[in-house]
Amino acid sequence: MNPKEFAARRKRLMHLMGAEAIAILPTAPERTRNRDVDHPYRPDSDFYYLTGFPEPEAVAVLMPGRPQGEFILFCRERDPLMETWHGRRAGLDGARERHGADDAFPISDIDEILPGLLENRARVFYTMGLSAEFDRKVVEWLNRLRQQSRAGIHTPGEFVALDHYLHDMRLYKSRGEIAVMRKAAQITARAHRRAMQTCRPGMAEFQIEAEILHQFMSEGARSPSYPSIVAGGDNGCILHYTENSDVLNDGDLLLIDAGCELECYAADITRTFPVNGRFSAAQRAVYDIVHEANLAAIEEVKPGNHWNQPHEAAVRVLTTGLVKLGLLKGRVPKLVKDEAYKRFYMHRTGHWLGMDVHDVGDYKVGGEWRVLEPGMVLTIEPGLYIPLGSKGVAKKWQGIGIRVEDDVLVTASGHEVLTRDAPKSADDIEAVMT
């Protein structure tokens, strides 16, 4: 991402905050995996959105109108010994020169410096409740300032929810963000294609997961954006199945829900295909319904439509299909109204997508579904799940779990399916698998 884009975001946020305000954003802490081993580090999305600063132990402070500079970054100092063991650090000079900070201070000095920055600012923009420890620090800094208060110094009187402003900004993706998301979607589409081409009966789910991760990594996306779901047969009916430890059986379907993360942006694709490369008649019948629901929902993604219209379209197609298969009985409008489809389709049709896989942004505004606008990115992911042992359901449908998920950008004229390179129709999938 161009450093100018981070600067433009800060400027926009500071404009929304107004003068006399101060924003405080800590990045994410490092988290222990076991004993002295940490999880791979991932910065906080809000912090990274405004700074592009990848290191832990950092706090960004924005002060609109501050004469000595509006963007202050607290971070770790250079330290040859620590860097020999744990990796390079930007240090205070790097924070200024490479990350656009007007001022940079050691993170170890934050308790001394921060109370002074709060002086004479009226409003503190801060996201409360993410870290009890950091919440406590903010209160301590304010209290310190109150105790020192002398004539002429005001302590801030107002706390404002920073996430409210920031998350609305993050909902509208810039050209730079869309370029990264398109690339993440393309890498992920190639990973799903690779999985289809590699899959054979008798392989283990984790072997297919390895193919997916290999494609991500070899294209520079070091991490998936969420734990990959590689679910053969009946496992496909467990929505968040992540054990990925079973053997793939001839005659079963394989549901893969996996996406890479690139430059802190997520892709999120699900494809479902036959382990042996050929859909059975029953599998294809269910597959075609989910595929049709996916296409019908995508058609509803356009400016002016509201958030729930794709879901409503998917539900209509799925319910009609379930009646045709004999899995539901009755009239479609009444079955939709009674939510009879929920037995086989128990989740919603999508979510916002961005730096977080379930991205930020309100789905309703003033109690009404949000209207779609260009620059928003969402997933479309209808499915049908018919587990083994489903009562009153013919055997041939049991053990079928299907989801078909794409990432869709709202454009001025309609939409762009960012994940269009992942084979989707039953015919296309069979062709890729021959």
Active site residues: 36, 240, 257, 268, 347, 351, 358, 381, 385, 403, 405
Q: Position of tokens 């829900």?
A: 257
Residue 283 binds which entry of Mn ion, ligand GLY, none, CB below 5-8 Å type-dependent: none
Kindly identify the residues of this chain, within the stretch 235-264, that bind ligand GLY according to CB under 6 A.
Answer: 257
Residue 319 binds which entry of Mn ion, ligand GLY, none, CB below 5-8 Å type-dependent: none
Positive or negative, the CA dihedral 364, 370, 374, 380 is: positive
CA-nearest of 316, 307, 294 to 405 is: 294
Helix (H) or strand (E) holding 72: strand 71-75
Residue 375 beta carbon to ligand GLY: minimum distance, rounded to whole angstroms: 21
**CA dist., res. 383 & res. 269, Å (int):** 13
Give the one residue of 263, 268, 300, 356 binding Mn ion; rule: CB under 5 A: 268
Residue 381 beta carbon to ligand GLY: minimum distance, rounded to whole angstroms: 6
**CA dist., res. 163 & res. 171, Å (int):** 12
Kindly identify the residues of this chain, within the stretch 396-425, that bind Mn ion according to CB under 5 A.
Answer: 405
Residue 348 binds which entry of Mn ion, ligand GLY, none, CB below 5-8 Å type-dependent: none
User: Is the distance from CB of 214 to CB of 363 less than 8 angstroms?
Assistant: no
Residue 255 beta carbon to ligand GLY: minimum distance, rounded to whole angstroms: 11
Which of 205/257 has CB closer to Mn ion? 257
User: Is the distance from CB of 286 to CB of 404 less than 8 angstroms?
Assistant: no
DSSP-assigned letter for residue 212: H
Residue 226 binds which entry of Mn ion, ligand GLY, none, CB below 5-8 Å type-dependent: ligand GLY
Which of 252/407 has CB closer to Mn ion? 407
**CA dist., res. 162 & res. 127, Å (int):** 5
**CA dist., res. 115 & res. 105, Å (int):** 14
Taking CB under 6 A as the rule, which mask of x and - marks residues 261-290 in contact with ligand GLY? -------x----------------------
Taking CB under 5 A as the rule, which mask of x and - marks residues 354-383 in contact with Mn ion? -------------------------x----
The site that binds Mn ion (CB under 5 A) totals a number of residues, namely: 5
Count of alpha carbons within 13 Å of 101, Cβ hemisphere only? Answer: 24
**CA dist., res. 133 & res. 420, Å (int):** 44
**Crossing angle of helices 3-17/162-171, nearest 10°?**
130
Residue 359 in contact with ligand GLY, rule: CB under 6 A: no
Residue 76 beta carbon to ligand GLY: minimum distance, rounded to whole angstroms: 33
User: Is the distance from CB of 286 to CB of 399 less than 8 angstroms?
Assistant: no
Name residue 392's beta-bridge partners: none
- Cα-Cα-Cα-Cα dihedral of 120, 121, 122, 124, to 10°? -150
- Taking each continuous run of H as one helix and of E as one strand, the counts in the chain are 13, 21
Which of 44/381 has CB closer to ligand GLY? 381
Kindly identify the residues of this chain, within the stretch 241-260, that bind Mn ion according to CB under 5 A.
Answer: 257
Which of 221/335 has CB closer to Mn ion? 221
Give the one residue of 75, 118, 357, 380 binding ligand GLY; rule: CB under 6 A: 357
Residue 41 in contact with ligand GLY, rule: CB under 6 A: no
Which of 17/357 has CB closer to ligand GLY? 357
User: Is the distance from CB of 23 to CB of 17 less than 8 angstroms?
Assistant: yes
Which of 50/357 has CB closer to ligand GLY? 357
Residue 387 beta carbon to Mn ion: minimum distance, rounded to whole angstroms: 19
Residue 406 in contact with ligand GLY, rule: CB under 6 A: no
**CA dist., res. 384 & res. 287, Å (int):** 9
Which of 25/402 has CB closer to Mn ion? 402
Which residue is at the shortest CB distance from ligand GLY?
257
Which of 257/300 has CB closer to ligand GLY? 257
Residue 209 in contact with ligand GLY, rule: CB under 6 A: no
- CA distances to 57, 315, 422 from 426, rounded to whole Å, are 49, 20, 12
Q: What tokens were used for 286?
A: 């269910």
Give the one residue of 46, 234, 381, 406 binding ligand GLY; rule: CB under 6 A: 381
3-class state of residue 198 by DSSP: helix
> Where would I find the beta strands (DSSP E) of 322-376?
364-365, 368-369
Residues that bind ligand GLY (CB under 6 A): 226, 257, 268, 351, 357, 381, 405
Residues in contact with Mn ion by the rule CB under 5 A = 257, 268, 270, 379, 405
